[in-house]
Structure 1
């Protein structure tokens, strides 16, 4: 039986939700993030992206590129609410959904043709259902592997649908081209240029041993497999059943602690609101870091204290990050997650004395319920405000 994977990618997710909720933003240059000198752009509408604005870009730079941009703070509670709805729709199509982050997931659609028809037909039905129930568009990539499906979802964005059949992987990789091959950033591109490698066809002329000697063990193996349309296995260990995690692959490698910490904070809120909504608690906090050469490191800790709030997750994530990384080293991907989950809203081990973080968990639950009822609450969760509150 031919394996079939969907990669579902929500188009400019944060900005799309803001445009849906506030029609006056429709079609305008919209950037999600803070306004202060320490802020970065979380995401940007497609109108703003035409000016070169992208995620993880310092806000000052974004505004220089696009001075007419409208900047609004992120509303993670609302984004998590919509994400949950879309993931529920995805799970109605496949029993195996691997959520990578708040705005993307893999669906294993192998063996579902009797239920939903041919893969392209199933993807069209999925896209229509998401649009009908949320008012948002998604892009769907279909492939015989997760790697090909992920590249396919980006091939015709926004509102895209691209299928790569088994046996067509090599032709698809060549059509995408070396510069747009997923996983090849500016640093790797410069190294390839140095060795006069400009196409996937030229890259395939090199043996795996030669590529590993030129680019390092991990990157050499990745280039060898990717240029042949072979799944490098980067997504094989994502989203276990007993975890809630999120990760961010940056458009450009990040070297600044401030930017990584802001994304840690954003993802900490995301996974905590997902855990609240699913009535789950975690025993362990872990982070994942991938560097430009595709070497990947994970680090976990099980705190003695119960894990109640996003603030705890963020603080622990920062500590783990400092153990595995120091400022100036470029980072391609950053993720954080809750592990060893158990059902319930109270910890298995009750505290002898009141834990101040338990009160923050109750506040986060109230905010989540308000959003479910469509009530508006204070929306800012950016790093500047978080630091300011800590100083007060």
Structure 2
């Protein structure tokens, strides 16, 4: 029998800001951008801000209208990655099988750890205490026999919550949920279900698999058929650890805001590059995965002659792939970024004539990784707003002009 924990750091970005600045505690903190920033969206907000109706992916301008007294802050991704790594290290002390699925959440497989940490419920509470003591953050935890139910369970008593679904109780748990609580069922899917007469999870449960497939398509119907039975309805991605390093974010609802998608891609690139650096790996191949609201999935990969040298370099390649593959206006359910065919990082190769600062960026990121200490936020690189994702490949400038620009650029570092 499996014992799976889903661990979710509560209001992660906002909680880190309140941890670093005690004067923010108990106040509405909204992370994503300043009210005057164009195209900014809310990445995370504190529970105090949520009482005003503020939520993730909302335009910052709208958040300001709802909560003008809020504390608006820009994203500090390097700091959040530091705290995420601290939490992940704690998770790893409770199980050798930890699957991080985003910067603030992970699955921890407690199966077979009873002799070390006691019953799964006891181990879950120990993990919660350890995270608080070591990181200063709180986590909400769901315990269940499979990942899908554990994912829903972790949100049942937030913040700082714990909810356990016993073996054999998965279907009863799912049937007691309103449609809004069935994780992964977005607004458009709920609208189609309600238009067809489905109001509750029990209504969906009474429908045949073929009926749901005819309504929602093969992937969507099969997903929902399993979901209302408390089965493993979502795979949450997968990776061959020896050959790839990847990071994914699955949105709880259909995401259509391009700024939010750009920010998400940048966060995923940060995670992948720092995992490459910390594991001493390198790669020349990148991949992008887009899963839409209808469960259709686009996957694309690209191999370059150059290794992934920095977060900026990876984001540039990923953003170009996204610009070519994304169906404009379509709701996105999942984004994933990965480095394929990873190998051990070799000794530095002979430098290129026109490096364009990539080696400097790589050295800075390695320095941050090697120098940072737990809880130390004094050493970090500034996080830039992601460049807009191109809608089509940009035109190439004349070769002579490019060469001259490269020459002038290089003079800055001579």
Give how far 1:275 is off: 2.5
Written as runs of structure 1 = structure 2, the 5 A alignment for 1:39-188 is 39-188=40-189
Aligned residue pair count? 386
- Residues 1:383 and 2:382 aligned together: no
The 3 A distance-change label for structure 1 pair 318 and 252 is same
Distance in 2 separating the partners of 1:271 and 1:77:
13
3-state SS in 2 of match to 1:47: helix
What corresponds to 1:216 in structure 2? 217
Alignment of 1:336-355 (within 5 A): 336-344=337-345, 346=347, 352-353=352-353, 355=355
Structure 2: how far apart are the matches of 1:351 and 1:154?
Answer: 49
Query: Which deviates more, 3-12 or 360-369?
Result: 360-369
Which range moves more in the overlay, 263-272 or 211-220? Answer: 263-272
Q: Which residue of 1 aligns with 2:191?
A: 190
Maintained 8 Å contact 2:284/2:306:
no
Distance in 2 (alpha carbons) for counterparts of 1:126 and 1:194? 43
| Residue correspondence of structure 1 range 12-23 to structure 2 within 5 A | 12-23=11-22
The aligned residue for residue 31 of structure 1 is 30
Q: Are the equivalent residues in 1 in contact too, given 2:320–2:389 (CA < 8 A)?
A: no
Counterparts of 1:201 and 1:179, CA distance in 2: 13
Find out whether 1:228 has 2:229 as its counterpart. yes
CA distance in 1, matches of 2:164, 2:324: 41
Secondary structure at 1:127's aligned position in 2? Answer: helix
What is the deviation of 1:163?
1.0
Q: Please give the secondary structure, in 1, of the residue aligned with 2:30.
A: strand
Gaps of 5+ in 1: none
Deviation at 1:39, TM superposition (A): 1.1
Compute the displacement of 1:378 (Å): 5.8
- Kept in 2, the 8 Å contact 1:286–1:298? The answer is yes
Match in the other structure for 1:316: 317
Root-mean-square deviation (CA, aligned residues, Å) is 2.3
Instruction: Choose between structure 1 and 2 for higher RCO, CA contacts under 8 A separated by at least 6 residues.
Output: 1
Contact 1:78 1:371 (8 Å CA) reproduced: no
- After TM superposition, the score normalised by the length of structure 1 is 0.92
Match of 2:9 in 1: 10
- Structure 2 unaligned residues grouped into runs of 5+: 391-408, 410-414
Alpha-carbon distance between aligned partners in 2 of 1:38 and 1:62, rounded to the nearest angstrom: 13
Instruction: Give the conservation status (yes or no) of the 8 Å contact 1:244–1:271.
Output: yes
Residue 260 (structure 1) shift = 1.5
CA contact (8 A) 1:33 1:382 kept: no
Could you report, residue by residue, the CA deviation over 1:285-314 in whole angstroms, capped at 9, with x for unpaired residues?
Answer: 111111111222222112121210111111
Displacement of 1:352 in angstroms is 4.9
Residues 1:207 and 2:212 are matched in the alignment: no
Aligned in 2, Cα 1:210/1:72: closer, same or farther, shift over 3 Å?
Answer: same
Asked whether the 8 Å contact 1:56–1:250 carries over to 2, the reply is no
Provide the rounded CA distance (Å) in 2 between the counterparts of 1:257 and 1:350.
39
Q: 1:256 & 1:374 partners in 2: Cα distance? A: 30
User: Could you state the TM-score of these two structures normalised by the residue count of structure 2?
Assistant: 0.87
Specify the structure having the higher radius of gyration (Cα).
2
Aligned partners of 2:57 and 2:370: how far apart in 1? 30
Tell me: CA distance 1:68–1:16, structure 2 relative to 1, closer, same or farther (3 Å): same
Residues 73, 379 of structure 1: 8 Å contact kept: no
